[in-house]
Amino acid sequence: MVEMTKHYQVVGNPIAQSKSPFIHAEFAKQTQQVISYQRACPEVDGFAIEAQRFFGSGGLGMNVTAPFKLDAYNFADSLTPRATLAGAVNTLALQDDGSILGDNTDGYGLVTDITQQLGWTLKGKNILVLGAGGAVRGVLQLLLEQRPAQLVLANRTLAKAEALASVFTHLGPLEVVEFAALPAFPAGHFDLIINATSASLAGDLPPLPEALIAPETHCYDMTYGAQPTVFLRWAESLGAGVRADGLGMLVGQAAESFRLWHGVMPEVKPVMAALRQHLKA
């Protein structure tokens, strides 16, 4: 008997750059799933119309990227606890009763990449997160659940960081500072620095003191590319010996979406390796 093709898609604007079709095709091959996975690029005010069309025509699951994660949050009939805290949805899944569940798998992708793929420890560590935008909101719960000794949120605008932190302070110790206050920390104080600023996408760096970096400082950039990001190049120039980009986070959050849809968790490592080669091609 021929298995019916199951339909999925990723929605964003722009969307041509998305690696999700490549990743999910690899997962499907690995787990013997028969799927179609397409890209969709509605107008910036057209998410709900596209989502209704997709699920109304037999679609089973949708990944959501910028600028539609809040639209997806509002579109969902129900939300997972982590999506509720994140205030954003990157995964929609059709349920047996016809309702749409919204989830956010970004934090899962980040933490499993750091702890499982890279083998770094988060528990008991001093962690600095750069930025206070949606990317950070999607990962704070999972980071705090790892029970770091200290988690500091640094942002150009203090009020924005304070507003974000207020949602998560019940989960663990969370401090906020302006970038300008970072020199007050002792040299090499942070065990891990995570760059989640949108400036990185434009090839810019936030104003960071060089004393943040010591040889043992672990540096992670939530963005990725064929070449090291500007943040990772900066960290390397100052002697940071352990660095990683966000490619593993990307594949990890996709794997959790895949599990939500198909009930099976794919292997992440071979797909990370295939995607890294794909980027270099």
Question: What is the H or E stretch that residue 279 is in?
Answer: helix 269-280
Residue with tokens 């490549």: 22
Query: Residues 6, 29, 69, 125: which is the catalytic one?
Result: 69
Q: Sign of torsion, CA 82 83 85 86? A: positive
Helices 247-262 and 20-31, axial angle in degrees (round to 10): 50
Per the annotation, the verdict on 69 as an active-site residue is yes
Task: Dig out the tokens for 130 from the structure.
Answer: 């750069």
Strand partners, 219: 193, 243
Question: What is the H or E stretch that residue 48 is in?
Answer: helix 47-56
Distances (CA, A) of 128 to 30, 101, 108, 193, 231: 36, 32, 18, 5, 14
Map residue 164 onto helix, strand or coil. helix
Q: Which amino acids are annotated catalytic?
A: 69
